[in-house]
Structure 1
C-alpha cells in the first residue's frame, strides 16, 4: 500500500541517483539524459503536484495555510503535506545542482571545483547555490564548450 512513508522510501533513492550521477559521471550520456536534461527534476515536480493535490483534496490539514508560521506548522503535521514538501526540496535542489553542472561546464570550471558546491547544494540547498555563485565569478564562459545537455 502506498503511504507517505513508502513513497518517501522510493523518492529519496531516485533523487540520490541524480546527485550521484552529477557527482561521479557528469559527462556520461545517462547523466545528460536523466538529470541534465531536466527529466529527473521534472519527474519529481510531477510527483510533487500529485502529492500536493492529493493532500489538499483527500487529506486537508486543519488550520493549515501560508499566512503564518503556525499555519505552515499545521500544514506539515499532515504526513502527505510533509512528503510533498520534502519532494519539493528534492526537486528544486536537484534542478539547481543540474544548472550548476551545466553552467560550470559551459564556463570551463574544473569538475573537482564544482563537487563541493554540488555536495553543499545536495545537503543544504541555498548554501550550495551561494557557494557556486561565488565561485562562478572566477570563470567566464568558455567560447567553444559543448553543452552537457
Structure 2
C-alpha cells in the first residue's frame, strides 16, 4: 500500500469517527467505538509507522535523514512522504481524542449538541484553536457547577 493510500484511509477513518462524534447519540457504545475503533486504531497506525521508521523496517521515502533536534531536522522528516503521513496520523489521532474529550465535557456541562458543533469543527480543522476556544467557554459553566455542589 502506498503512502497516498495510507493517508486517504487514515483520513476517511478519522472522518467516520468525527461524524459519529458530532451526529450519533452519545451512548457509551458510540463513545467506545470512537475511542477504540477510531482513536486507538489511528494510534496503532502511528506506532507501527514510527517503529518501522526507527528500526529501518519501513522506508519513509524521500531522501531520508532528519531528526527532532532542530527545525531543519523536523522539516527534513516531513519532506519524506512517510514522514508527512506519520505527522498527519499523529494530528488525526490527537485531534479526534481531543474532540471526544470536548464532546463529553460539553455533555457533562449541559451544552447542547448544536452549541458543541463549532468547537468540534474547529478542533477537526485546527486542533488547538478548537481546544483553546472550548477551554475559554467551558470555564464559566465549570465554575457555576462547582459552586452548585
TM exceeding 0.5: yes
Q: Which runs of 5+ in 2 are unaligned?
A: none
Q: What is the Cα deviation at residue 29 of structure 1? A: 5.6
Q: What is the Cα deviation at residue 28 of structure 1? A: 4.5
Q: Which runs of 5+ in 1 are unaligned?
A: 144-149
| TM, length-normalised to structure 2 | 0.85
**Number of residue pairs aligned between Structure 1 and Structure 2:** 140
CA contact (8 A) 1:4 1:79 kept: yes
What SS does structure 2 have at the residue aligned with 1:66?
A: coil
Alignment of 1:1-149 (within 5 A): 2-28=1-27, 30-35=29-34, 38-39=35-36, 40-56=38-54, 57=56, 58-59=58-59, 62-140=64-142
TM-align CA RMSD: 1.9
Higher relative contact order (CA 8 A, sep 6+): 1
Q: What is the Cα deviation at residue 97 of structure 1? A: 0.2
Partner of 1:146: none
Q: What is the Cα deviation at residue 30 of structure 1? A: 4.9
